[in-house]
Structure 1
Amino acid sequence: MTTPAASGPAPVPDPWRLLDEASTILAVHAHPDDESLSTGALLASLAASGTRVVLVTATRGEEGEIVAGAIEPGDTRALEEIREAEIAAATAALGIAERHWLGTAPALAQASAPRRFRDSGMRWVREGLAGPADTAGPDSFSLRPLDEAVGDLAALIESVRPDVILGYDDEGTYGHPDHVRAHHVAVGASARTGVPLLEVASTLPQVPGSDPRILERDHPGTAETVRRAVDSYRTQLTVVGDADGGIAIRHVGGQDDVVLLRTGLHARG
């Protein structure tokens, strides 16, 4: 299961057909909560249909801000411990029984010592371009050697044997450096193992179905499941209520957003 490295994702003209036919999928995400915010409805739908859904998360979200009042007075746990508990609750709600941390076996390259990829944080370098936070160190996910993470993900692929990998496109949802790095890691591991990568579109067209390069699908019946998963992340966001096409939330920074119950996948041919 080896192929030469590639600079970009291989052609996938019909991503939904590949996903429908897959018995095992491996979802690659950067932080706890990304799996629910970016792909919650899709993963819940897959799990409910009997597809084996495996999740790998690169970091524990150590640099995330905290919603005021989300942590009880006297709770002395480090933020990463709290976010580990949050992702456990969220993935249970989504029906995901298998999850791993990148850098921890089996998501660890052979003969490598266990490693921990730290949340890079984020700052805006200029309008439209995000970079790691000023506090990011050499152990941050976006700053560590790319080959390390690619090797770790390839090892997990060899262990799990997924039919497809599900990851971000090159925009990384909103340009977070860890999301962009996760995209490049998934591209590299896909090329190394030969397992096709399906890219979730960061932005859906305003008129559904108007962009032939993005194939969209609704996930009916997933609203309550996604709401429970998203609500698990009390340190990061607040569930506001229902919204047209999804769940209305408010991020820790005060930004209003909608967790969509619809997914677009890139068709590349």
Structure 2
Amino acid sequence: MPHGGTSSESDESQGLAHGFDTDGTVLDDVRHVLFVHAHPDDETLATGALMAELIDRDILVTLVTCTRGERGEVVPGPLSHLQGMPEFAAHRENELAGALAELGVTRHVWLGTPPARVAQLEPRRYEDSGMRWVREGLAGPAADASANALTSQPLADETADLLAFVDAAHTAPDLVVSYNEIGGYGHPDHMRARKVAEAAARARGIRFAEILSDAALAQKAQDAGELATWFHLDHRLDQVKAALAHHASQVSVDGDDVVHSGGQRTPIGTSVGLRLVL
């Protein structure tokens, strides 16, 4: 996700938020935000800075991760031996724990594991569905997703698991956040996570917001009369870098860039947008 590098005068005219006062933004009157992500590392890459900022502003943050990212491509190097191995899932759990500690996130659950599991049912582990690259920047579904994959299981079951968490929460979330309709870049697990998150929010009458990848999208939504906010959080760069360093099987940090397992290099994302959908 790119930094939002526009001038303060332009930002003011667009109603974009620096730091931020939540009044008049997507976060107006929000006290508990539930983030729903597909795999470990997605939370840091897409919304790490925002989660850290909310926590420092005394807004409750909970992360639900749908899979362990078992089929993630490993960065070439000392962790390459984990590719496709049974112990890779546990390794990614540990990577996520380290990243969340850097971001200050203490409330985390796995979808299918209590309390994000329907009562009286045995815990279920939703697996990474895998993906393939259709073209640069756009993913598509893998042809060999397992029967336990997130995209192989019924959407209604997954939504019921997320609702079990929402209903059991001591402080119910008043905003659910997840990906846009194409999952950011087309990953099938991202798209399914979005559907689960939106369905659960709709079922309980909770506001739902999708993640925006750049300030221009926030401005376009505002111009269309929608409630959207771009949050400038470049002061969180070092914290996001520290969190990304824990996801060493998936990415490496080089200066202010993140280098993905396939060699793709992008600026480390800090500033982020949200568009209210429900």
What are the within-5 Å matches in structure 2 for residues 90-239 of structure 1?
90-124=99-133, 130-160=139-169, 161-201=172-212, 203-205=213-215, 209=219, 212=222, 213=226, 214-239=228-253
The alpha-carbon deviation at position 258 of structure 1 amounts to 1.9
What are the within-5 Å matches in structure 2 for residues 77-92 of structure 1?
78-92=87-101
The alpha-carbon deviation at position 135 of structure 1 amounts to 2.6
Number of equivalent positions: 249
Number of the residue aligned with 1:11: none
- From 47, 53, 75, the equivalent of 2:61 is 53
1:40 aligns with 2:48: yes
Cα displacement string for residues 71-120 of structure 1 (whole angstroms, at most 9, x for unaligned residues): 2989x971111100100000000000110000000000133221110001
Which structure 1 residue ranges, 4+ long, deviate > 3 Å from structure 2?
14-18, 124-131, 205-211
Cα RMSD, aligned residues only = 2.5
Cα displacement string for residues 174-207 of structure 1 (whole angstroms, at most 9, x for unaligned residues): 1100000001001110111111111111x32559
The alpha-carbon deviation at position 57 of structure 1 amounts to 0.1
Distance change in 2, residues 1:70/1:128 (3 Å): closer
Distance change in 2, residues 1:138/1:232 (3 Å): same
The secondary structure found in structure 1 opposite 2:214 is coil
- From 256, 259, 273, the equivalent of 1:250 is 259
Amino acid at match of 1:51: I
The alpha-carbon deviation at position 127 of structure 1 amounts to 8.2
Cα distance in 2 for residues equivalent to 1:264 and 1:230: 20
The secondary structure found in structure 2 opposite 1:83 is helix
The alpha-carbon deviation at position 37 of structure 1 amounts to 0.3
Amino acid at match of 1:175: G
Aligned 8 A contact 2:33 2:174 in 1: yes
- From 246, 252, 255, the equivalent of 1:241 is 255
Aligned 8 A contact 1:15 1:266 in 2: no
The alpha-carbon deviation at position 132 of structure 1 amounts to 2.5
Number of the residue aligned with 2:34: 26
Cα displacement string for residues 143-170 of structure 1 (whole angstroms, at most 9, x for unaligned residues): 2110111000111111221121111111
Distance change in 2, residues 1:254/1:116 (3 Å): same
- From 246, 266, 269, the equivalent of 2:275 is 266
Percent identical: 39
Cα distance in 2 for residues equivalent to 1:266 and 1:208: 7
The secondary structure found in structure 1 opposite 2:255 is strand
The secondary structure found in structure 2 opposite 1:165 is strand
Cα distance in 1 for residues equivalent to 2:151 and 2:128: 8
Cα displacement string for residues 25-64 of structure 1 (whole angstroms, at most 9, x for unaligned residues): 1110000000000001100101111211111100000001
After the TM superposition, which of the residue ranges 36-45 and 62-71 deviates more from structure 2? 62-71
Amino acid at match of 1:171: I
Superposition TM-score, scaled by structure 1 size: 0.84
Amino acid at match of 1:90: A
Superposition TM-score, scaled by structure 2 size: 0.82
Aligned 8 A contact 2:210 2:277 in 1: no
Cα distance in 2 for residues equivalent to 1:72 and 1:124: 20
The secondary structure found in structure 1 opposite 2:268 is strand
Aligned 8 A contact 1:231 1:239 in 2: yes
Cα distance in 2 for residues equivalent to 1:16 and 1:117: 37
1:64 aligns with 2:72: yes
The secondary structure found in structure 2 opposite 1:178 is helix
Cα distance in 2 for residues equivalent to 1:110 and 1:207: 40
Cα displacement string for residues 9-38 of structure 1 (whole angstroms, at most 9, x for unaligned residues): xxxxx9963524222111100000000000
Amino acid at match of 1:232: H
